[in-house]
Amino acid sequence: MLTLSEIIIYPVKSLGGIPVSSAMITSRGLQHDRRWVLCDENNVFITQRNFNKMTLLKTCLVDDGFEISHSKNNSVLKIPFEINEGRLEKVKIWSDDCEAYAASSEINKWFSDALETTCKLFYMPDLSSRMTKKKSSQKVSPVSFADGYPYLIIGQSSLDDLNKRLQHPVPMNRFRPNFVFTGGQPYEEDLFDALKIGEVIFRGVKPCERCVIPTIDQATAKTGKEPSATLSTYRSVNNAIHFGMNLIGEPSSGIIKNGDAISVISRKDSLF
C-alpha cells in the first residue's frame, strides 16, 4: 500500500520548503507553491544553483502570508500570499518569458542584503501564462515558477535505498519534492503513468533530472560531491542523474492530505 506521508510547498522558488498537512490543488500546482521568484538585475531568475546562500533563508506560513527568516542574522521579512497590482514586468525562467508583479523596494532591499547581490522578488498572478513543455503524447499543463512541471513525487523507499549506499545519509529536503510517499519498492515512482492521490488524478511526465542542488546542505549551504556522486553510479541515463518523478495534474481541483492512499492506475513500460 502506498500512502502520502509528506506534502511540501515552496512559496519562493529555491528557498526553504514548508511541510503542510493538507494542500489545495490549483490549475498550476499546489496552492502558494512557487508563485514567487527571485531575479537578478536583468529579471532573469536565480536559484541555489548559482546562489547557495539561498538555503539560509527559511520560510514559514503565517495567517495572511509567509515569513522569510535569515538563519545567520535573525532578520525576518513578511510576504503576502499574492499581489495583484503595480506594473507587470517580463521575467525569464529558463526559456520562458512570464509576466509578473515586482515586490516593493523594501522587500527587494531585504533580499539583496541577505544574498549580498542585487535582486528583485516577483509574483506570478493568475493572468500570467506559462505552460509545461510537451513530452511525447502528454498534454501541456499550466505551471508556476517551478523548473518544468507542477509537482515532484519521491518514494521514501527510494531515499532509504540511496542512504544505504552513502557514508553520510542525506535528508529528503536535498531533493525538494512536493509529495513523499511510504510503501512500495525503491524507485517505484519511476514507472508511475497515472495515479490517484485522495480523489485527485496525476500523470507521470518524466523522471526528474537532477542538477547540483542535491549536493547543497540545506541547513548550512555547504556543498559537496554527494549524493550525486553515488547516484551517478546507478541512476544515470544519457549522462543525466534521475531521482523522483515529475507530475502534472488532471484539469480539476481538490484537496489532498497526509495519510491519503495513493492508487497507481497505470504504469509505464520503461523509465524513458
Cβ-Cβ contacts under 8 Å for 240 (sequence gap 6 or more): 209, 210
pLDDT tens profile 244-260: 999 999 877 899 999 99
For 69, half-sphere exposure in the C-beta direction (CA atoms, 13 angstrom radius) is 10
What is the spatial order of strands in the sheet that 88-93 belongs to? 36-39, 120-123, 96-102, 88-93
Phi and psi, residue 231, nearest 5°: -60, -35
**What integer pLDDT is reported at residue 136 of this predicted model?**
56
Under the banding of pLDDT at 50, 70 and 90, the label for residue 158 is very high
List CB contacts of 29: < 8 A, sequence separation 6 or more.
143, 144, 146, 150, 151, 178, 249
Whole-number pLDDT of residue 250: 85
Would you state the pLDDT for residue 135? 67
Q: And the C-alpha cell for 229?
A: 556522486
Q: According to the model, what pLDDT value does residue 71 have?
A: 79
The second-level CATH assignment, the architecture, of 2-29+132-267 is Beta Barrel (2.40)
Instruction: Please give the average per-residue pLDDT across 77-104, as a whole number.
Output: 95
- pLDDT at position 229, please? 98
Domain layout of the chain by residue ranges: 2-29+132-267, 32-123
Averaged over 37-43, what is the pLDDT? 98
Buried/exposed code over 206-219 (b: 16+ C-beta within 10 A; e: otherwise): bbbbbeebbbbebe
**pLDDT surpasses 70 at 137:** no
Asked if 86 and 38 touch (Cβ cutoff 8 Å), the reply is: no
Q: What average pLDDT does this structure show over 164-191?
A: 98
Report the C-alpha gap between 257 and 46 in whole angstroms.
Answer: 31
Please tell me which residue, 71 or 146, carries the higher pLDDT value: 146
pLDDT at 132 over 70: yes
User: Would you say residue 148 has pLDDT above 60?
Assistant: yes
